[in-house]
Structure 1
Amino acid sequence: MNEMSTQTISNHVQQALEAMKNRVIQHVFFVACGGSSALMYPSKYVMDREAKTIRSDLFSSNEFIYRNPQALDEKSLVILCSLSGTTPETVEAAKFARSKGALTVSLTNVGDSPLAQASDYPVVFAWGEGTDPAESNASMMYQLVFGLLHHKESNDKFNSYVSSLSLLESIFSKAWNQFKPNAKEFAESYKKEKVIYTMASGSNFGPAYALSICYFLEMQWIHSAAIHAGEYFHGPFEILDKDVPFFIILGLDETRPMEERALEFTKRYGHRIVVLDAKQFDLEGIDEGILGYVAAMVISRVTRLYAMELAAARNHPLTTRRYMWKVEY
């Protein structure tokens, strides 16, 4: 790893990458639940696009254990994530992976959490409003996967990403200010809706999935489903009419043509459409080879802004729950 990299990336990530460097790794498993699982979609996309010799899969934590992949062994890397580090299924998944001889790296906001203790290498990320995006869970994920590909396959996008870290705070801040009026308008217009579908593809499907299952379903009790743009014309588009709301995300990765096709059709027959287009972001200074990857991070941040404004307009805080953390389940 070059001097620039070691001075910039997280110390916890450095330690995990050193461990990876000394191991044979043939398979990466991304394991988490809910929003933490959605976080991993862009990194899975990175592996699919960039890795030449390393396979990867993404699992919900409990299914990872029940499915018990035959490929899980001492040549596996398992990356897990839980904000609090207390998600029982993810803690058990870390223990399960280690029992198979896999190298485990966990992302959490709490350094002494059960997940951190159950993993070989805990990576602590920053969380909350005002957090430097370079220190976020999304950034740590990219540092890990690009670093792995750098060590194992000499992928040069690791250095491109590390060079971009100092730019992220300004990029995120500009996007937040740019889209705040749009988010307020969305909130006022859609605050009484009983259902809102989301749609995207590629690395952007993670933010679309999080917007649907976390923000709309979990936090706002609004019926929702995340529809993959590539699957839209194979069933889901039959739900479309002029009154059905769609929140459509257009990113900058290689799957954008699918998102554009889905948007064009939706505009033809629908009228309740919100479009978040990454082409509107100011990504000056970001290397062209990683634009799509960085755009997915910004999309994730901006969708949270939309959710916050919707919660305010509905007088339904994002922290409100019926069951989560309240009853046995």
Structure 2
Amino acid sequence: MKQEQGLSVKEGQVQMKVEHTKQIKEVVNAVKAKNIQNVYFVACGGSMASLSLGEYFISKESLVPSFVYTSNEFIHRDPKVLGENSLVILRSHSGTTPETVSAASFAREKGALTVAISMDTESPLCQEAEYTVHYNYKDGSDALDGEVGIFYTLIFELLNVFAPDEKYSRVVNQLPNLEKLINKNVDLFSKVADDFGKKYKREKIIYTMASGAYIHHAYSFTSCLLMEMLWIHSNAIHSGEFFHGPFEITDFDVPFLVIKGEGASRPLDERALDFVKKYSNKVEVIDIADLVFEGIDDDLKEYFGPALAGAVTRLYADGLAEHTGHPLSVRRYMWKMEY
């Protein structure tokens, strides 16, 4: 939906909120009308990483099985339980990712309920899916908090269908705090992230470690920011898997960025962090417990931490871009040739 001429930014945001609420309500009503027995989150790259948070919360909080697939494998693997009792949520920023568009078509052929998340309602993905929940980057009326807030609203409204609990309504009610919290945490971590970029600007490889909901941020940071945008070798290591092979590469000059999560898997991060700090002199930590959570109930911090972490980790890539002189927009292959 494009912002109408003559509307102020604030009026446009109100209009967008009404539209988003309507779109999410339509999806929730469609889910209620069906006997949904499983949920699939399907996308590629950073879009897949963002959807993975939905899989994490639904599998953790409800009895409904949920799965994450990269789009092409979703088609080629052809899950046997995919069918008329399935909900398939797909995402592509532009709505033009060919594999994801094909995955939407494939899911609909199987009889699944399909929902597209994108910035462009006229995109091939949104046209292919049965329902659309969109955010609006094109005219600037949705910032990062808008995109995250819209997705979180959808997920926690769905959780209230799958496993009703008053805390999910509280999450949705406190999401309007997100913009302020993102801005405060960006201010809090900007200097630290810039120092990180200055310190590690000549590193050829940087490992990122996390667990729980934050492993998806680690994946996005390594694959989409370090490797894709900065051409720095990297790998996202799950803290729980660190001692099952990867820890052998630890040495005094091997850099690690550890996301110390807020939630059930925090002990996994603490154990891995204790080890790397003993044997590497290049360890940096993003401790989610240090983030600002003003206006968020204590028992909801586990849900809001991942919503804030993306903006914070992005700062570390910005720091590297600034001090390496390598803009995040530069590509060698992507969008430039056939692949």
The aligned length equals 322
Farther off after superposition, 162-171 or 230-239: 162-171
Alignment match of 1:296 (pick from 289, 299, 306): 306
Is the contact made by 2:62 and 2:162 (CA closer than 8 Å) also made in structure 1?
Answer: no
Letter in 2 for 1:300: G
Work out whether residues 120 and 136 of structure 2, in 8 Å CA contact, stay in contact via their aligned partners in 1. no
CA offsets per residue over residues 95-125 of structure 1, 9 Å max, x none? 0000000000011011110000010111111
Aligned equivalents of 1:123 and 1:8: distance in 2?
Answer: 9
SS in 1 for 2:251: coil
Worse-matched range after superposition: 225-234 or 123-132:
123-132
1:146: how far off? Answer: 1.4
- Distance in 2 (CA, whole Å) between partners of 1:200 and 1:169 is 24
**Aligned-residue offset at 1:23:** 1.3
- Cα distance between partner residues in 2 of 1:305 and 1:126: 22
Gapped regions of structure 2 (runs ≥ 5): 1-16
- Looking at structure 2, the residues matched to 157 and 145 of structure 1 have their Cα atoms a distance apart, in angstroms, of 13
Distance 1:145 1:133 in 2: 17
For residue 306 of structure 2, what is the amino acid of its counterpart?
A: A
Instruction: Quote the residue 2:270 is aligned against.
Output: 260
1:111 to 104, 108, 121: 121
- Deviation (angstroms), 1:131: 4.2
Question: 1:47, CA displacement in angstroms?
Answer: 1.1
CA distance in 1, matches of 2:137, 2:53: 19
Deviation at 1:127, TM superposition (A): 3.7
Residue deviations 1:155-190, cap 9 Å, x none? 323211111112111111110000000011001011
Please give the alpha-carbon distance, in whole angstroms, between the structure 2 residues aligned to 1:269 and 1:68: 44
TM-score normalized by the length of structure 2: 0.91
Q: Which residue of 2 aligns with 1:48?
A: 59
For the residues of structure 2 that align with 1:122 and 1:112, how far apart are their CA atoms? 10
Q: What is the identity, as a one-letter code, of the residue corresponding to 2:310? A: S
Q: How does 1:129-208 map to 2 (within 5 A)?
A: 131-136=142-147, 138-208=148-218
Counterpart Cα distance in 1 of 2:259 and 2:80? 36
User: Which ranges of structure 1 fall in alignment gaps of 5 or more residues?
Assistant: 1-5
Q: Which residue of 1 is the match for residue 38 of structure 2?
A: 27
Shift of 1:41: 2.2
Name which of structure 1's ranges 179-188 and 154-163 shifts more when overlaid on structure 2.
154-163
2:283 to 255, 269, 273: 273
Cα distance in 2 for residues equivalent to 1:241 and 1:299: 27
Per-residue deviation, 1:288: 2.8
Instruction: Summarize the Cα distance change of 1:314–1:239 in structure 2 as closer, same or farther, 3 Å threshold.
Output: same
Distance in 1 between residues matched to 2:276 and 2:270, nearest whole Å: 10
Which residue number corresponds to residue 24 of structure 2? 13
Q: Give, in angstroms, the shift of residue 11 of structure 1.
A: 2.5
Shift in Å, 1:262: 0.6
- CA drift at 1:9: 5.9
Contact 1:13/1:123 (8 A) holds in 2: yes
1:178–1:277: structure 2 CA closer, same or farther, 3 Å change rule? same
CA contact (8 A) 1:199 1:227 kept: yes
1:230-264 CA-partner distances (Å, limit 9, x unpaired)? 00000000000010011100111110110111111
User: 1:57 matched to which residue of 2?
Assistant: 67
What CA distance in whole angstroms lies between the structure 1 residues aligned with 2:334 and 2:256?
27
Q: Tell me if structure 2 keeps the 8 A contact 1:16–1:121.
A: yes
The alignment partner of 2:190 has SS state of: helix
**Where in structure 2 are the equivalents of 1:196-275 lying within 5 Å?**
196-275=206-285
| Distance in 2 between residues matched to 1:309 and 1:284, nearest whole Å | 26
CA contact under 8 A between 2:135 and 2:142: conserved in structure 1? Answer: no
Query: AA paired with 2:77?
Result: R
Of 13-22 and 181-190, deviating more is: 13-22
CA distance in 1, matches of 2:318, 2:144: 18
CA distance in 2, matches of 1:328, 1:12: 35
Deviations 1:168-214 (A, max 9, x none): 11111110000000011001011111000000000001111100000
Q: Which residue of structure 1 aligns with residue 8 of structure 2?
A: none
- SS of aligned partner of 1:85: coil
Question: Deviation of residue 8 (structure 1)?
Answer: 10
Specify the alignment match of 1:3 in structure 2: none
What displacement does 1:154 show?
Answer: 1.5
- For 2:168 and 2:191, the matched residues in 1 are separated by 35
Counterpart code for 1:328: E
SS in 2 for 1:224: strand
CA contact (8 A) 1:187 1:306 kept: yes
The separation in 2 between residues aligned to 1:256 and 1:325, in whole angstroms, is 38
What is the CA–CA distance in structure 1 between the aligned matches of 2:317 and 2:51, rounded to whole Å?
20
Whole-angstrom distance in 2 between the partners of 1:180 and 1:225: 24
Q: Which moved more, 1:212-221 or 1:148-157?
A: 148-157
Name the structure 2 match of 1:309.
319
3-state DSSP of counterpart to 2:233: coil
